[in-house]
């Protein structure tokens, strides 16, 4: 995505949390930027560099943040916009593309790069084995940007099709009931024995991984920092003496 202006905009995925899970490419992109834009807690994860200007904004202001960053790049700045995890998964890369589509012609002439990162579901899956070892999908449970009936339709279709389902944005103070409703819907389609993984703050010091069955899964275990992975009927547990079980989805299906 190369343009004719001197400024640049790079959207950078920081990984799920710890600095050890940030890619060298992301680190280099952050280091070479003059200005960083992002949600405050994500910006705080970017290594400090002297002379670099940071613009923190609220989590709900993605489009405004993207537009501001694009305007600065058009003015000649080397700008990085940061996201947790991967920048293209429920994150800022799509907001930047949307701002380019809606914005002035100058935005389309910019050099725009997207640097990938380790997304939450991969960090959580890696902690327990290989639950994403066969076909899977990711669904955001937030109904801020789509109607709840559409979430229900997608959940049901994914479960009926045999996908493992990774749920992002499962619960928040403003959306307290959606995860319980999702479990109830999935219990109508899937066996109660299907494994459910609650992966909280994967890769951070306060990480917590909890295993349950779909029948017993308690929405209260999740918070905003949790990615919930719901197995398919093929997903299984391998019990081990003195160690947590391995959870995996076999590579083949019938």
Closer CB to ligand SAM, 68 or 222, in the complex: 222
Closest CB to ligand SAM among 44 and 53? Answer: 44
Residue 226: CB minimum distance to ligand SAM, A: 6
Cβ–Cβ under 8 Å, residues 96 and 112: yes
Q: Is 26 helix (H, G, I), strand (E, B) or coil?
A: helix
Choose between 40 and 191: whose C-beta lies nearer to ligand SAM: 40
Least distance CB 19 / ligand SAM (angstroms): 13
Two tokens at 214?
Answer: 């779909």
- With H, G, I as helix, E, B as strand and everything else as coil, classify residue 245: strand
SS3 content of the chain, % helix, strand, coil (to 5): 30, 25, 40
Residue 200: count other Cβ atoms within 10 Å of its Cβ.
19
**Quick one: 132 or 227, whose CB is closer to ligand SAM?**
227
Tell me how crowded residue 182 is: count the other CB atoms within 10 A of its CB.
25
Q: How far is the CB of 6 from ligand SAM (least distance, A)?
A: 29
Q: Which two tokens stand for residue 85?
A: 């995890």
* Nearest-approach distance from CB 187 to ligand SAM, in angstroms: 21
**Residues contributing to the site for ligand SAM (CB under 6 A):** 16-17, 83-86, 89-91, 119-120, 123-124, 168-170, 199-204, 224-227
Nearest residue to ligand SAM, using CB? 85
């Amino acid at each position: 995505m190369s343009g004719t202006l001197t400024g640049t905009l790079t959207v950078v995925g920081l990984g799920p949390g710890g600095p050890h899970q940030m890619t060298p490419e992301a680190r280099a992109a952050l280091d070479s930027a003059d200005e960083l834009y992002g949600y405050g807690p994500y910006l705080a994860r970017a290594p400090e560099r002297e002379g670099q200007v940071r613009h923190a904004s609220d989590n709900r202001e993605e489009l405004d943040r993207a537009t501001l960053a694009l305007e600065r790049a058009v003015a000649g700045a080397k700008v990085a916009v940061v996201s947790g995890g991967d920048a293209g998964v429920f994150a800022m890369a799509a907001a930047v593309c949307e701002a380019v589509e809606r914005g002035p012609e100058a935005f389309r002439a910019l050099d725009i790069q997207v640097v990938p990162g380790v997304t939450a579901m991969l960090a959580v899956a890696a902690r327990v084995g290989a639950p994403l070892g066969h076909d899977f999908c990711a669904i955001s449970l937030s109904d801020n940007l789509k109607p709840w009936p559409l979430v229900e339709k997608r959940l049901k279709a994914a479960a009926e099709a045999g996908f493992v389902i990774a749920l992002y944005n499962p619960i928040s103070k403003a959306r307290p009931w959606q995860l319980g409703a999702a479990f109830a819907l999935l219990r109508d389609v899937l066996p109660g024995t299907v494994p459910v993984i609650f992966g909280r703050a994967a890769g951070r010091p306060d990480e917590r991984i909890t295993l349950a069955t779909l029948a017993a899964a308690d929405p209260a275990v999740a918070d905003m920092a949790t990615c919930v992975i719901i197995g398919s009927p093929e997903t299984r547990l391998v019990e081990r003496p003195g160690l947590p079980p391995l959870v995996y989805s076999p590579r083949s299906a019938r």
